[in-house]
Amino acid sequence: MNKSGKKIIIANWKMNGLLAESMQNIKHLRMNFLTNPSSCDVVVCPPFTLLRDMAEKLPSAGMKLGAQDCHYEKEGAYTGEVSARMLKDMTCSYVILGHSERRQHFSETSEIVKKKALTAIDAKLVAIICVGETLYERDNNLTDIVLREQVIHSIPENANDSNVIIAYEPVWAIGSGQIPANEQIEKTHSYVRKVIKEELLQFKNVPRVIYGGSTSPDNAKSLLSIGGVDGLLVGKASLDPKQFWKMIESAN
């Protein structure tokens, strides 16, 4: 847990959301927020196309804006890419990096994730760095080895406990409806903390470590009660504002 001691709930909308429906969803969330202020931190990461519109709606209701990726260069001839400074310019405070869908479908290695995180932190964004094992790796008892490799090689030298969040997302749990047992999650989070504490000397304190993968209103409370789980990274359930609000309430 970082200094604030607060849980954090992060919505990852992935490649979903057209303007009209998204504005409706946010209207619903805003209304809930303004009438029942939340005691946890809430971040919404819509696709790039919605950032400007969300920038006008989220902060005034107490929520923070995040993006789902950025390039590792500050600017230049990278057609189609978006830089960390552009996200900051759009009033983003957070950026998700190294999500397993990017590692899998866009061949992002931990080294690339690290370069992105370095630039994001330089631009004063909080980098939400995702790590997690595949089913094959889990079944072959490789989880700790894979997580250690990802943690060590994805986190840059300028990281500290307030500019980085680690999201542990088992790849096999994402969008599958399956999640590890609570004891397993506790063990894995504690392992990630140990690696950070013992091997990454840039950290004075361990940053927040959150869980992601098939989280829902039904399991949010139980997941948030696990020792060492500082919050949730929510995919599908964050697209429905009623479900997402229930999850926020579980963290209060």
State yes or no: residue 215 binds ligand PGA (CB under 6 A).
Answer: yes
**CA–CA separation, 241 vs 113, rounded Å?**
30
Q: What is the full DSSP assignment across 151-212?
A: HHHHS-TT--TTTEEEEE--GGGTTTS----HHHHHHHHHHHHHHHHHH-TT-SS--EEEEE
State yes or no: residue 175 binds ligand PGA (CB under 6 A).
Answer: yes
Pair 184, 227: CB distance under 8 Å = no
**CA–CA separation, 11 vs 163, rounded Å?**
18
- 124: helix, strand or coil: coil
**Segment interacting with ligand PGA, rule: CB under 6 A, options 35-43, 74-82, 201-209, 211-219:** 211-219
Q: What is the DSSP letter of 72?
A: S
**CA–CA separation, 239 vs 135, rounded Å?**
26
State yes or no: residue 229 binds ligand PGA (CB under 6 A).
Answer: no
Choice from 66, 156, 180, 212 touching ligand PGA (CB under 6 A): 212
Q: Name the catalytic one among 101, 137, 169, 189.
A: 169
Choice from 95, 159, 233, 248 touching ligand PGA (CB under 6 A): 233
Residue 251 structure tokens: 């963290």
Question: Least Å distance between CB 177 and ligand PGA?
Answer: 8
State yes or no: residue 235 binds ligand PGA (CB under 6 A).
Answer: yes
Question: Least Å distance between CB 75 and ligand PGA?
Answer: 28
Choice from 43, 234, 248, 251 touching ligand PGA (CB under 6 A): 234
Choice from 25, 83, 154, 214 touching ligand PGA (CB under 6 A): 214
Q: Is 149 one of the annotated active-site residues of the chain? A: no
Q: Which of residues 128-157 bind ligand PGA (CB under 6 A)?
A: none
Q: How many residues bind ligand PGA (CB under 6 A)?
A: 13
Cα–Cα–Cα angle for 28, 31, 33, nearest 5°?
A: 110
Q: Is 99 one of the annotated active-site residues of the chain? A: yes
Residue (5 or 215) nearer to ligand PGA, CB? 215
Residue 72 structure tokens: 């590792």
Catalytic residues: 99, 169
The residues of the shown chain that bind ligand PGA, judged by CB under 6 A, are 12, 169, 174-175, 212-215, 233-237
